[in-house]
C-alpha cells in the first residue's frame, strides 16, 4: 500500500444508514441519504478523482473496523469506524496497518484483531496488540494454524505434524492433545466458538472433516471427482453458529456448491453427511451462520449473473432477500450486531452492512453508488451472457468480452473482483460512447454448477468456441452491429484469438491481454494445474489431438485483414510473456495485421494505474472510439 499519500489534517466523520422497507431499498430514503452526503461534500467523486474504486474491510478490535477504498496504485482512502454508535473518520492508510511488530512476521489473528500468535522457526508467542506485549506459548514446534475461541481464553493449534492441541491461555498450559493426527493436507480450518469442535477440509478424497476435541472423535464425508477440485477455489467451506450447536458447510457433491447442516452433538458413527439446506440448483458463493437457526448466504438464486444476499431460517425454512447486487469477492464478516458485505455500485464495490435486529441496511464511507440501479442487460437464449446496450439503444459496434479463469464469471456491471474492475471501467466507457457490450460465460465458467464447469475437459477450443459463437451471432442479430471486436484477458485472451481464427468472417478484430496462444508450450512446463486436467496431462501421443484442436497458431493463416492487438505484461508470472511475443511473430510471418504491446514491469493482474490507462487507450483506439480523456484514472 502507498505510504506517501497526503491527507487532510481534519478528519471527516460520517456514515450512512437507513431502514429497510422491503427486499429492495427504499428509494426516497436513498435520495435523502445521497443529498445528505452531497451536503457534506462526501458524495461520489468528492474524495478522489479515480473513476472507480473497490472497498474492503477488516475488524481491527472489538467494536471497530478498518476500511480501504483503492484503485490500483492511483487512489487509496482509509477509514476507521466505531460501530456502537456508528461513526467513521478518514485516516491515512498508513495507520490502517498491523502493528509495526507484526509487519515482517508470520502470525494468526483472533477474530477482532486484538491477539496474534506469532510463528517464528518453532518458537511461538502470543502478542497482545492493545498492550503491545509478548508472552511465550508452550508450543515448541512449527505451527500451521492457530485458532482462538470466541472468548479468547483458549487456543487450538494445528502443528505442521498435523497434531491438534488446546492451550489454556489463562494458565499458558496445554490442556488437551488429540490422540490421533489430523489427515494430511489440512485446509480451511475453523474452530467452534467454544473450542470444542474443529472442522477442516482435505483435497485428497474431497473430504470434509469434523473433530470433537472433547470426546476425541472424528467424522467426515467425501465425494468423488475426476476433475479439478473446484472447492479449492472457494473462500469459505465451514462456519459454526456462535453457540457451536450448528455447523454449516459448503459442498458441491450434488452438482452445485450449496449448504449442508450438521448438529455436531447429535452425530453418531463417523459420517458427516448432514442435511442439504437448499434444494434448488444454484451456486452459493459465501455464507455465515448468525444464530443456531439463522444463515446468511450470497447466491445467484434468481439469475446466474445476479448475486444477492439472503437470510435463511433453518427452523421455519423461511427465505428472505436482504440485499441485491452483492459482491461475492468480499467475504461476509460479523462484528456484534453488524453483518458486513460488499455491495456493487455504479463505480465499483463498497462496504455495506446489515443489522438484523433493526432490519437496517447501510454503507460505510464513501458512497460509491449504493443507490444506483442494477445494470440493465439482455440475457441470451443461445449462450450464457449479458448484452448491455449503449444509452441510445442502437449501435453499429459490438464489443465482446471474455473473462479469464476459466472458473470465473462475467458480470453485467462492475465485477466482484477488483482485478476485473479495470476492464469493466474500460468497457463502460466504450458503451457510453455507443458500443454494445457482450459479456460471455462459456463452458468451464463459475456459477453454473459442476457439470458446466467440467464440460470443458477435453473440449478446449471446441465446446467453448461453439457456445460463444452462438452467443455472438445472437447478439449481432439483436443489435444489427456491422463491426464486432473480440476482447479478453488470460484464458479470455485465448478465446478472443481462437474465436477469431475459427470464424474470421464474423469479426473486425481481436484483442488479447496476457492471453495464452500455445497450450503445448504452456503445459510442457506446468502440467499440474487445471489446464493439465483439461488436456489430460502434458503433450503426448495420447492427447496430441486435443492440443491440435485447441491451437490458435495452426489456423493463423485463416485470418484475412482483421486487426489483432496483443498486449502482455513483461513480468507475467501466470502466462509467460513469450506466449504473446511468439504469437506476434507467427502473425508477422503470415503477413497479418498485428500489433504487439509490452506492458512494462507489470504482472498478470495489474497493479499500476498507468498500465490500465494505456490498455484503456489501446482499447478505444482499436475499436475506433474517441476516449477524450476518459482513460485517465486521476486528474
DSSP string computed for 509-528: EEEEES----HHHHHHH--S
Flag whether pLDDT at 188 surpasses 70.
Answer: yes
Q: What is the mean pLDDT of residues 243-253?
A: 96
pLDDT given for residue 62 in this prediction: 72
- In CATH terms, 98-181 corresponds, of 3.40.630.30, 2.30.40.10, 3.40.50.970, 2.40.10.480, to 2.40.10.480
Pair 17, 86: CB distance under 8 Å: yes
Checking phi first, is residue 218 left (phi over 0); if not, alpha (psi -120 to 50) or beta?
A: beta
Tens digit of each residue's pLDDT (9 = 90 or more) over 565-591: 999 999 999 999 999 999 999 999 999
Cell numbers placing 153: 481464553
pTM, two decimal places: 0.91
User: Pairing relation of β-strands 326-327 and 563-569?
Assistant: unpaired
Choice between 200 and 336, residue whose per-residue pLDDT is larger: 200
Q: Measured between alpha carbons, how far is 168 from 145 in angstroms, rounded to an integer?
A: 16
pLDDT given for residue 220 in this prediction: 97
| Closest C-alpha to 440, from 517, 495, 390 | 495
pLDDT given for residue 526 in this prediction: 72
Percentage, residues of the chain above pLDDT 90: 76
Q: Is the peptide bond before 85 cis (omega within 30 degrees of 0)?
A: yes
Q: Measured between alpha carbons, how far is 8 from 41 in angstroms, rounded to an integer?
A: 14
pLDDT given for residue 179 in this prediction: 87
Choice between 499 and 228, residue whose per-residue pLDDT is larger: 499
Residue 372 has what DSSP assignment?
A: P
Flag whether pLDDT at 33 surpasses 50.
Answer: no
Flag whether pLDDT at 528 surpasses 80.
Answer: no
Q: What is the mean pLDDT of residues 169-184?
A: 93
Does this chain's domain 186-324 share its CATH topology with 380-623? no
Please give the C-alpha separations between residue 318 and each of 311, 312, 315, in angstroms, as whole numbers.
Answer: 8, 6, 8
Strands (E), 304-455: 306-313, 319-323, 326-327, 333-335, 338-345, 348-355, 360-363, 378-379, 385-388, 397-402, 436-440
Residues for the chain: how many in total?
A: 635
Please give the C-alpha separations between residue 470 and each of 264, 400, 463, 499, 500, in angstroms, as whole numbers.
Answer: 49, 13, 11, 11, 14
pLDDT given for residue 555 in this prediction: 94
Flag whether pLDDT at 43 surpasses 50.
Answer: no
Tens digit of each residue's pLDDT (9 = 90 or more) over 190-200: 999 999 999 99
Q: Measured between alpha carbons, how far is 569 from 607 in angstroms, rounded to an integer?
A: 11
pLDDT given for residue 45 in this prediction: 35
Flag whether pLDDT at 38 surpasses 80.
Answer: no
Checking phi first, is residue 446 left (phi over 0); if not, alpha (psi -120 to 50) or beta?
A: beta
Residue 158's pLDDT band, with cuts at 50, 70 and 90, is very high
Per CATH, which fold does 380-623 belong to? Rossmann fold (3.40.50)
Q: What is the mean pLDDT of residues 170-192?
A: 94
Which stretches within 270-343 are classed as H helix? none
Domain extent listing, the chain = 13-95, 98-181, 186-324, 380-623
Residue 20's pLDDT band, with cuts at 50, 70 and 90, is low
186-324 carries CATH number 2.120.10.30: yes
Q: Measured between alpha carbons, how far is 362 from 350 in angstroms, rounded to an integer?
A: 11
Cell numbers placing 6: 497526503
Which stretches within 273-385 are classed as H helix? none
pLDDT given for residue 509 in this prediction: 98
Pair 310, 321: CB distance under 8 Å: yes
Q: Is 469 helix (H, G, I), strand (E, B) or coil?
A: helix
Choice between 246 and 103, residue whose per-residue pLDDT is larger: 246
Flag whether pLDDT at 115 surpasses 50.
Answer: yes
Q: What is the mean pLDDT of residues 16-26?
A: 44
* C-beta atoms surrounding 189 within 10 Å: 21
Flag whether pLDDT at 539 surpasses 60.
Answer: yes
Flag whether pLDDT at 27 surpasses 70.
Answer: no
Flag whether pLDDT at 23 surpasses 90.
Answer: no
Amino acid at each position: 500500500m502507498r505510504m506517501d499519500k497526503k491527507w487532510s489534517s481534519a478528519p471527516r466523520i460520517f456514515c450512512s444508514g437507513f431502514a429497510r422497507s422491503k427486499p429492495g431499498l427504499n428509494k426516497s430514503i436513498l435520495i435523502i441519504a445521497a443529498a445528505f452526503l452531497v451536503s457534506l461534500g462526501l458524495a461520489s467523486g468528492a474524495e478522489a478523482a479515480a473513476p472507480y474504486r473497490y472497498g474492503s474491510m477488516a475488524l481491527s478490535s472489538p467494536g471497530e473496523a478498518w476500511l480501504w477504498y483503492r484503485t490500483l496504485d492511483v487512489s487509496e482512502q482509509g477509514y476507521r469506524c466505531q460501530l456502537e454508535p456508528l461513526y467513521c473518520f478518514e485516516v491515512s492508510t498508513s495507520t490502517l496497518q498491523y502493528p509495526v511488530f507484526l509487519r515482517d512476521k508470520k502470525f494468526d489473528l483472533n477474530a477482532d484483531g486484538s491477539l496474534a500468535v506469532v510463528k517464528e522457526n518453532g518458537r511461538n508467542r502470543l502478542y497482545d496488540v492493545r498492550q503491545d506485549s509478548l508472552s511465550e506459548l508452550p508450543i515448541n514446534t512449527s505451527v500451521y494454524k492457530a485458532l482462538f475461541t470466541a472468548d479468547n481464553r483458549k487456543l487450538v493449534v494445528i502443528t505442521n505434524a498435523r497434531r491438534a492441541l488446546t492451550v489454556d491461555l489463562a494458565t499458558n498450559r496445554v490442556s488437551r492433545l488429540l490422540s490421533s493426527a489430523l489427515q494430511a493436507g489440512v485446509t480451511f480450518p475453523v474452530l467452534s466458538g467454544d473450542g470444542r469442535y474443529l472442522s477442516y477440509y482435505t483435497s485428497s478424497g474431497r473430504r470434509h472433516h469434523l473433530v470433537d476435541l472433547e470426546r476425541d472423535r472424528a467424522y467426515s464425508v467425501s465425494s468423488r471427482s475426476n476433475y479439478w477440485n473446484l472447492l479449492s477455489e472457494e473462500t469459505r467451506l465451514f462456519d459454526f453458529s456462535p453457540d457451536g450447536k450448528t455447523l454449516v458447510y459448503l459442498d458441491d457433491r450434488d452438482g452445485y456448491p450449496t449448504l449442508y447442516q450438521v448438529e455436531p452433538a447429535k452425530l453418531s458413527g463417523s459420517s458427516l453427511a448432514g442435511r442439504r439446506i437448499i434444494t434448488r440448483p444454484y451456486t452459493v458463493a459465501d455464507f455465515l451462520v448468525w444464530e443456531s437457526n439463522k444463515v446468511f448466504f450470497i447466491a445467484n438464486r434468481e439469475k446466474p449473473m445476479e448475486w444477492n444476499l439472503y437470510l435463511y431460517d433453518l427452523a421455519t425454512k423461511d427465505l428472505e432477500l436482504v440485499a441485491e447486487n452483492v459482491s461475492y469477492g468480499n467475504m461476509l464478516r460479523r462484528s456484534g450486531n453488524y453483518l458486513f458485505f460488499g455491495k456493487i455500485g455504479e463505480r465499483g464495490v463498497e462496504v455495506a452492512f446489515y443489522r438484523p435486529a433493526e432490519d437496517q441496511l447501510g454503507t460505510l464511507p464513501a458512497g460509491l453508488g449504493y443507490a444506483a440501479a442494477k445494470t440493465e442487460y439482455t440475457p441470451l437464449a443461445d449462450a450464457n451472457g449479458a448484452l448491455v446496450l449503449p444509452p441510445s439503444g442502437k449501435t453499429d459496434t459490438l464489443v465482446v468480452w471474455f473473462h479469464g479463469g476459466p472458473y470465473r464469471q462475467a458480470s453485467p456491471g462492475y465485477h466482484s473482483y477488483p482485478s476485473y474492475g479495470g476492464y469493466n471501467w474500460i468497457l463502460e466507457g466504450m458503451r457510453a460512447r455507443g458500443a454494445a457490450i457482450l459479456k460471455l460465460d462459456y463452458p468451464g465458467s463459475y456459477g453454473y454448477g459442476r457439470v458446466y464447469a467440467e464440460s470443458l475437459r477435453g473440449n478446449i477450443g471446441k465446446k467453448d468456441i461453439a457456445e460463444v459463437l452462438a452467443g455472438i451471432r445472437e447478439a449481432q442479430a439483436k443489435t444489427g452491429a456491422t463491426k464486432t471486436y473480440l476482447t479478453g484477458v488470460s484464458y479470455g485472451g485465448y478465446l478472443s484469438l481462437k474465436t477469431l481464427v475459427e470464424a474470421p468472417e464474423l469479426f473486425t478484430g481481436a484483442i488479447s491481454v496476457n492471453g495464452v496462444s500455445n497450450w503445448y508450450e504452456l503445459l510442457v512446463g506446468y502440467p499440474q494445474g487445471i489446464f493439465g486436467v483439461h488436456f489430460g496431462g502434458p503433450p503426448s501421443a495420447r492427447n496430441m489431438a486435443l492440443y491440435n484442436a485447441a491451437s490458435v497458431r495452426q489456423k493463423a493463416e485463416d485470418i484475412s485483414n482483421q486487426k489483432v492487438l496483443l498486449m502482455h505484461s513483461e513480468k507475467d508470472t501466470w502466462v509467460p510473456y513469450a506466449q504473446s511475443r511468439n504469437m506476434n511473430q507467427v502473425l508477422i510471418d503470415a503477413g497479418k495485421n498485428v500489433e504487439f504491446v509490452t506492458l512494462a514491469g507489470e504482472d498478470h493482474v495489474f497493479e499500476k494505474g498507468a498500465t490500465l490507462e494505456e490498455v484503456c487507450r489501446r482499447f478505444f483506439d482499436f475499436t475506433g472510439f474517441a476516449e477524450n480523456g476518459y482513460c485517465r484514472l486521476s486528474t
